[in-house]
Every structure is written in structure tokens, then in C-alpha cells.
Amino acid sequence: MPPRRSILFAASITALLHGYIGVRLLPDLPVPMAVACLGALWLVISALLLPTALLARRLTPPWADRISWLGMLAMGFFSTLLILTVARDLFLLGTLAVGWHPPALLPDSAVAVLGLALFVSVVGYFNARGLARVVEVDVPIPNLPEALHGFTIAQISDIHVGPTIKKPYLDRIVDRVNQLQADAVAVTGDLVDGTVRELADHTAPLGRLSAKHGAFVVTGNHEYYSGAEAWIVELRRLGLRVLMNEHVVVERGGAALVLGGVTDYSAGHFIDSHRSDPAQALAGAPAHAAVRVLLAHQPRTAPAAAAAGFELQLSGHTHGGQFWPWNLFVPMQQPYVHGLNRHENLWVYVSRGTGYWGPPKRFGAPSEITKVRLVRG
């Protein structure tokens, strides 16, 4: 379907869903007609804002960011309101089936849906806009040399610098990562939602990332939506080591750790030469290396990483679902959603992400800066 027709189709579906909410919810709310009319007006504005926000980059600053902000806030609230309205209808159908239908059921359930949607959206906003908490994770590695016991990697992922995430937000993340004084910093993709020209000033804080053995980054799918080749050049200019199906060797106390990185799982669909290849990332690595760690944006790289011989994979991409109920759908695409998981002989740690995508909203899936520590196991 051509892009213009796709946008019109998506806008039509969005309008219909807003209409469904209006028809099913507004008549049952115990409010004056004037308030109900304001609610209907909000639904119309929201239906217009959602597709407009997705096209806002075509506008000139600062209007692009302002419309994106309004549209993303509306999208977050609408998403939860829609799910709860559907849930309410299913509940009402159930009450009809069992013959239970007290007079207050319709207005009380309508108020409950609206109140819960507002609560989730407000709490989700503050969760998303606050500084990500530090999550400490110990990963047991068999036969790990004493020299590498306690080796730490600070992982950040899925920041999505773009319309609603700017330099001050990223500055706070970088400051917190540097306070961890990790041996290495790993950035596991989806740093940006926009071009280098649009966002170079806002990604500049990445140049301050500091660790004993350096800061490393791999591409995520959103880099390919935003011009991956230009971003690779920019990240290298900032002093980060971009790992593209390659590795570095870290020596400590006579023991070697291989830190590899692959391009995004889907990168080959955008640039054929960027096809993700964990085996290539390990090619030429010293056979005596005590541990092999892979940075891979998507958890579904795990089978190939295990086959290549890595012991640990650090990933992101899922956001842990970001907010309910979308966390229930992530397993349809990815084998792991968050936390430390075991895939054959491979540990897979999936970060919930350090920023957010789309609506500034996190509920039930807190953002994180991860401090991964290798321990003898």
C-alpha cells in the first residue's frame, strides 16, 4: 500500500476507534451534557492529533516537537482508554449472560474506566520522564578467571532521543552511568528517532560516556529508520566504538574477555552489507578467551549467538512491554521480554530500556540502567 494511502487508512481506523469509545462511554457517564460535549470534542481532537503527530517531523521547529508532544500524550491516554473500554464491554456482556444488571452498573463502570485510564496515564508519564533506576545483575560464568570476577558492564538501551527526549534527559542518563564506574559501557541500540541533522546537538552527551575499557554501541532497528550510516559516523565522531559484526578483546590480569557486537537483527533488510552475523562477530577471537559477550539489540539473535559460542548476550528492544497490556504481545515476536534468561548455554539479559518510544508512558515496566557483573559460577 502506498505511504499516503497507508496514512489515510491508519487515520480512518484511529477515527473509528475514537468513535467507538465515544459511543460506548460518553452516554453512560453521569455528567452534565456540556461536560459530555467536551469529552466528545476531546475525542475528535485526539483522533486528529495521533496521525498528525506521526507526520510532525515534516513541520518546522518548534511546532514539530510541540505537536509530537501533544500527539504522544494523547496516544498514551487513548491506548489505555481503548483497552479499558473494550474490557468494560466484555464485562457488561458477562453480566447480561448471568442476568446481573444493577442500575448503577453502567455509570459506575464508565466512571471507573475513565478514572483508571487517567490514573495509569499520569503515573505512567512520571515513570517515563524520571531518571531510570539502576538494576544490578550478577551473571554466573563457569570457570571464570579470578581476574575477570567482578568485571562490570553498564548497559543502556532504547533511549529514543527524538521529539520528546532531548539533551537534558540524556545528560542525566550519562551522568548516572558514569557514576557507576563500570569497566565497559554497552549501548544496545535504538538510541535515536530522527536524523543526525535533527538530533546531533541532543545526542552530544554520549561523548561523555566514560569507562575503563571504553563505550561500545550496536545499531537497533530505529537507527535504520533514521539513517544508520550517518549515525554510525556520528557515534564514532563522539568517541563510541560501533561494533558491526566484529569484536574487541579486553585483557585484565592475564585473562581475556571478548566483547562482540552485531548489527540489528533486521539490518539486512535496509542495507545488505549490514546483515546481522554473530559468527562473524566472533571470527578471529582468541581461543583462550575466558568469556565471550555479545551486544545484540534484539533478543531473537540468541539462537545464532548460542551457536556461535557466546556465553552472554545483552539486548534491549522490547522495553519490557513499556505499559500494559502491550507487554502481553511482545512474546509473539521475541523469545524473551526482560531480565536474565537462559538459552541453551547462553545467558540472555534483556533490558527494559532506558528511555521510551512513542507515548511518554511506562506502567508495569520501569526503565533501567543496568549494571551487569560477571561472577564465577
Mark the ranges of the chain whose per-residue pLDDT is less than 50. 1-2
Tell me the per-residue pLDDT of 141-186, one tens digit each, with 9 for 90 and over. Answer: 999 999 999 999 999 999 999 999 999 999 999 999 999 999 999 9
Domains and CATH numbers, the chain: 3-129 (no CATH), 133-376 (3.60.21.10)
Copy the grid coordinates of residue 331: 512474546
pLDDT at 1: 47
Ordered DSSP codes for 43-75: HHHHHHHHHHHHTGGGSPTTHHHHHHHHHHHHH
pLDDT at 3: 55
pLDDT at 149: 97
CA angle, corner 20, sides to 321 and 117, nearest 5?
45
Report the alpha-carbon distance of residue 124 to residue 122 in Å, rounded.
5
Pairs from 225-233 (Cβ < 8 Å, separation ≥ 24): 225/193, 226/192, 226/193, 226/194, 226/195, 227/195, 227/196, 228/267, 228/270, 228/271, 228/274, 229/271, 230/195, 230/196, 231/191, 231/192, 231/196, 233/196
